[in-house]
Structure 1
Amino acid sequence: MAERPTTSWRKGIAQGAEELAAGALDPNCACMAELFPEELLVATDDVLDMFDAELPRLGEADDAQILVVVECLVLALNVVNEAHGGSAFETDEREGLCAYIDESLTGHGVDVVALTARHGLGRYELTDRWRKW
């Protein structure tokens, strides 16, 4: 099962807090909690929860059904991103979210390479048409 990006973000926050408390991290470099406020983490997890709930039926779904689920996910993440000044998901976060989507679909029987190829897309272009983050 794919690890959610929010899980690694939370781990980074915890690690930063531990290092800060131990005096091993300069307070000026302790930025994880600021980059990933709890409100952002919860909102992102809420969206990913909806996506995860759809995954079990996608292995047998047709392309249109799969693409609707991906579109809804991406549009919901757009809303989360906009609610956080349009900068909640920078390069690393985008890559993590896209990898999570790909790995989750693959883990539930969706051939992402074939799906994207049938629609004239490269494997890593699945979210591009709707993504604003």
Structure 2
Amino acid sequence: MANRPPENWRAWMAEVARDVEAGILGPECAGAVEMYPESLLKATDSVLEAFEAEMRVLVEPSDEEAFGAVERVVLALNAVDGDAGHGGAGYCTEEREQLCEYIDLTLGEHGVDVAALAARRGINRAEITDAWRDW
């Protein structure tokens, strides 16, 4: 199963904290942990968990079912990204790339040939989230 991006973000924050404590990074780097407030991490995890649950019940999903699941997860991630309750934190380039890769991998883990799915829509597999993505 693909690692959810918030797992990567938590690991990065822990590494930065360790490096600041060890003196490898300067104290000015300690604020990096504010990039991912717990509210953002939990909300993102919740959305991705729902996406995984939806994919688990689909058996040989049709294109419409697969794209429907993608649309729902992307719209839910849009809501998380736009939530002011995260103190201004949200998804930037690195986070966006990890989220898109996660969606692609999760589809694949549940029997979706993502390249073929995208080709049938006349898009590149990297564009499967673009129709709905604000982040």
TM-score by length of 1: 0.93
Identity percentage over the alignment? 51
- Paired residue for 1:93? 95
Helix, strand or coil at the partner of 2:64: helix
Please state how far the C-alpha of 1:31 moved relative to its aligned partner: 3.8
- Paired residue for 1:117? 119
The runs of 4+ residues in structure 1 deviating greater than 3 Å are 84-87
Aligned length: 133
Q: Structure 1, residues 10-50: CA drift from partner, whole Å, max 9, x if none?
A: 00111111112222221212343111111100010010010
Q: CA RMSD in A?
A: 1.5
Please identify, of 29-38 and 83-92, the stretch whose mean Cα deviation from structure 2 is larger: 83-92
Contact 2:78/2:134 (8 A) holds in 1:
yes
- Structure 2: distance between partners of 1:86 and 1:125: 26
- Paired residue for 2:15? 15
Letter in 2 for 1:131: R
Helix, strand or coil at the partner of 1:42: helix
- Paired residue for 1:41? 41
Structure 1 portions without partners, runs of 5+: none
Helix, strand or coil at the partner of 2:133: coil
- Structure 2: distance between partners of 1:130 and 1:58: 21
Alignment of 1:18-33 (within 5 A): 18-33=18-33
